[in-house]
Copies of this chain bind each other. A is one copy, B any other.
């Protein structure tokens, strides 16, 4: 390890936590969060959950809040508020299901679909700077390993 003098203090000894995958995930997440905000979040005024919801609606027209909540891994009341905000911006709309009077269908408006497509196009390249140092094989492997971790339960 090279000694760091520049900028003042050396970094603290993190050996009490850096054995944890959860710690490494947190640090990596900070990076992806930054590029997301820069390329999509700020330009399109979309928080990550809002972006994810639009992407889900793009591929699942008329999905119910219930199923959105399950996929987003988020309690139902929060999905209500989330949809409220997007309805307020004219990006999505709610329709009553014709087959089940309790259920709703959530649909993208024309504006919502246009925004969703633009945001998606941006998202395709935004992580490129982060992956620059990974070979194509490493990128594939990274995805596989993260997927294994995510489906471990």
- Name the one of B16, B56, B71 contacting A55, with C-beta atoms under 8 angstroms: B16
The residues of B that contact A28 with a CB separation of less than 8 Å are 21, 25, 146, 149-150
Size of the chain A interface, CB-CB below 8 angstroms: 62
Measured CA separation A58–B87 after assembly (Å): 49
Chain A interface SS verdict (over half): helix
Is the pair B20, A123 in contact by a Cβ cutoff of 8 Å?
yes
**Contact string, A105-135, partner B, CB cutoff 8 A, digits 1/0?**
0000000000000001001100101111110
CB distance from A62 to the nearest CB of B (A): 11
**Contact string, A13-32, partner B, CB cutoff 8 A, digits 1/0?**
11111011111111111111
Counting CB contacts under 8 A, is A2 at the interface?
no
Counting CB contacts under 8 A, is A102 at the interface?
no
CB distance from A43 to the nearest CB of B (A): 16
Counting CB contacts under 8 A, is A67 at the interface?
yes
Counting CB contacts under 8 A, is A82 at the interface?
no
CB distance from A127 to the nearest CB of B (A): 5
Is the pair B123, A152 in contact by a Cβ cutoff of 8 Å?
no
Task: Answer whether A146 and B16 are a contact pair too, CB < 8 Å, given A130-B152, A141-B141.
Answer: no
Is the pair B32, A21 in contact by a Cβ cutoff of 8 Å?
yes
Nearest opposing residue in chain B for A63, CB measure: B12
Measured CA separation A29–B29 after assembly (Å): 9
